[in-house]
């Protein structure tokens, strides 16, 4: 989690300091961004996001159209249409709701619409589980959306601001997801600094292109024959790859406005580490940091790396961090059934290293499925197994 001191700022940017859950941190950020259209359907654990936004709209704190719909498929369809008319839009979902949106996820990214969505991640059925893991998010990581995964409520708040600045940039024009631990973060209160609305809108001014205009009618999502279809997809691929530079510039701008320096990844004691544990999300990161401290006290040169930007994947940052280690592990909170490895992010890391000709002993760890308790001692064990030369898969 980002706990370092803020850099000195030339402006007093903090409006208030509040105790917020990550869900409410999302809502406060969306309110300050002056979003025009919100559509949602309730599902645990995201419901308190849109409940708070409905409250903001009802009491006049946010001048937005709040659309109650009959399903998550409809929610994303509504913001798709609204975004195409030039509106700044927002929605949120989790678990089965995210799965029900899947068809429209492709539509939104294919139409290059800068919709922003929050996904407090949750296990998927069957059996039914209302608890947290990243099974839902991982089904949508490769559908053309920018995806950030956060580790604290402050980071969630900050990331929502950053994603609107990135998604609406004319060099990007792609949708974006802010994801974080369901329940463990979505319903846990933390200290959050809330910024001045004027500075937020200066940092992330509305820049949604109006594609649909009755005065100038056009067709969106038209039939594309083989000689044209691939061009759309290659353009989409290029935009997502190219978003890295825009994301990096937004991080720099955010630092100048609000004094926190963000990156694609977060590192902890990796400079001299021989063995590194790679994680994502809040609970895993907290455990990893503690495990590194414990193993360091035992004389082991360990470190931790957190993947903050999942898409576009931070290939260079991951490779630069891991290229000289003797071994690494990746803790995944989701399962890729039947794949060459059960860890979806582990696969990303291994492929990234292979692209640079690197083959490093590694362990794929599956943990926290259905919010099974993850103990610091589990992460200590993973690091100690790495030191012993363990390779393969560990199911915690």
User: According to CATH, where is 3.40.50.970 located in the chain?
Assistant: 14-258
Mean residue pLDDT across the chain: 96
Q: What is the pTM of this model?
A: 0.96
Residue 238: other Cβ atoms inside 10 A? 10
The edge-to-edge listing of strands for the beta sheet with 65-68 is 65-68, 37-40, 89-92, 116-121, 176-181, 146-149, 309-311
pLDDT in tens, 196-254: 999 999 999 999 999 999 899 999 889 999 999 999 999 999 999 999 999 999 999 99
Lowest mean per-residue pLDDT among 7-16, 22-31, 252-261: 7-16
174/111 Cα distance (integer angstroms) = 8
pLDDT in tens, 118-161: 999 999 999 999 999 999 999 999 999 999 999 999 999 999 99
Angle subtended by helix axes 344-355 and 315-322, to nearest 10? 80
Secondary structure class of 140 (helix, strand, coil): coil
pLDDT in tens, 155-200: 999 999 999 999 999 999 999 999 999 999 999 999 999 999 999 9
Q: How many Å from the N-terminal Cα to the C-terminal Cα in the chain? A: 23
- Looking at residues 268-278, what average pLDDT do you find? 98
Paired tokens of 216: 């100038």
- Looking at residues 363-389, what average pLDDT do you find? 97
Prior bond of 94 cis (ω within 30°): no
Residue 384: other Cβ atoms inside 10 A? 17
Residue 26 contacts residue 92 (beta carbons within 8 Å): yes
Q: For the structural domain made of 14-258, what CATH number should be given?
A: 3.40.50.970
Secondary structure class of 149 (helix, strand, coil): strand
pLDDT in tens, 18-52: 999 999 999 999 999 999 999 999 999 999 999 99
Q: Is the pLDDT of residue 1 over 50?
A: no
Give percent helix, percent strand, percent coil of the chain, each to the nearest 5. Answer: 40, 20, 40
Paired tokens of 286: 């907290």
pLDDT in tens, 291-322: 999 999 999 999 999 999 999 999 999 999 99
Q: Is the pLDDT of residue 65 over 80?
A: yes
Q: Is the pLDDT of residue 107 over 80?
A: yes
CATH architecture of 266-395: 3-Layer(aba) Sandwich (3.40)
- Count CA atoms closer than 13 A to 379's CA, side-chain side: 30
114/86 Cα distance (integer angstroms) = 10
Chain position carrying tokens 């992010």: 345
Radius of gyration of the chain (CA): 21
168, 175, 202, 193: which is closest to 28 by C-alpha?
193
Instruction: Report pLDDT for 358.
Output: 98
φ, ψ for residue 261, nearest 5 deg: -95, 110
83/75 Cα distance (integer angstroms) = 12
User: According to CATH, where is 3.40.50.920 located in the chain?
Assistant: 266-395
240/143 Cα distance (integer angstroms) = 11
């Amino acid at each position: 989690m980002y706990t370092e001191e803020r850099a000195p700022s030339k402006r007093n940017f903090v409006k208030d300091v509040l105790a917020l859950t990550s869900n409410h941190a999302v809502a406060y950020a969306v309110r300050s961004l002056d979003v025009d259209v919100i559509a949602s359907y309730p599902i645990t654990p995201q419901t308190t996001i849109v409940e708070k936004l409905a409250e903001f709209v009802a009491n006049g704190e946010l001048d937005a159209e709040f659309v109650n719909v009959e399903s998550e498929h409809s929610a994303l369809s509504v913001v798709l249409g609204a975004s195409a008319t030039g509106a700044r839009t927002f929605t949120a979902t989790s678990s089965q709701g995210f799965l029900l949106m899947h068809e429209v996820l492709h539509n939104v990214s294919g139409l290059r619409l800068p919709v922003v969505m929050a996904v407090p991640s949750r296990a998927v059925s069957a059996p039914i589980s209302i608890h947290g893991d990243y099974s839902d998010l991982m089904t949508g990581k490769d559908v053309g959306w920018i995806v950030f995964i956060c580790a604290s409520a402050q980071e969630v708040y900050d990331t929502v601001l950053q994603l609107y600045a990135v998604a609406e940039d004319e060099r990007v024009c792609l949708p974006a997801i802010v994801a974080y631990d369901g329940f463990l973060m979505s319903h846990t209160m933390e200290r959050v600094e809330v910024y001045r609305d004027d500075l937020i809108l200066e940092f992330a001014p509305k820049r949604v292109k109006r594609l649909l205009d009755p005065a100038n009618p056009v067709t969106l999502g038209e039939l594309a024959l083989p000689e044209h279809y691939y061009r759309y997809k290659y353009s989409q691929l290029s935009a997502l790859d190219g978003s890295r530079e825009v994301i990096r510039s937004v991080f720099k701008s955010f630092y100048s406005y609000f004094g926190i320096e963000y990156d694609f990844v977060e590192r902890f004691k990796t400079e001299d580490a021989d063995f590194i544990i790679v994680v994502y999300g809040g609970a895993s990161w907290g455990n990893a940091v503690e495990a590194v401290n414990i193993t360091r006290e035992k004389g082991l040169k360990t470190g931790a790396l957190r993947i903050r930007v999942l898409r576009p994947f931070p290939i260079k940052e991951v490779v630069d961090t891991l290229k000289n280690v003797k071994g690494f592990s990746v803790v995944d909170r989701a399962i890729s059934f039947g794949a060459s490895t059960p860890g979806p992010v582990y696969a990303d890391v291994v492929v990234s290293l292979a692209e640079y000709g690197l083959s490093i002993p590694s362990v794929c760890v599956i943990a926290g499925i259905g919010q099974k308790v993850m103990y610091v001692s589990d992460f200590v064990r993973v690091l100690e197994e790495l030191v012993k030369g363990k390779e393969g898969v560990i199911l915690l």
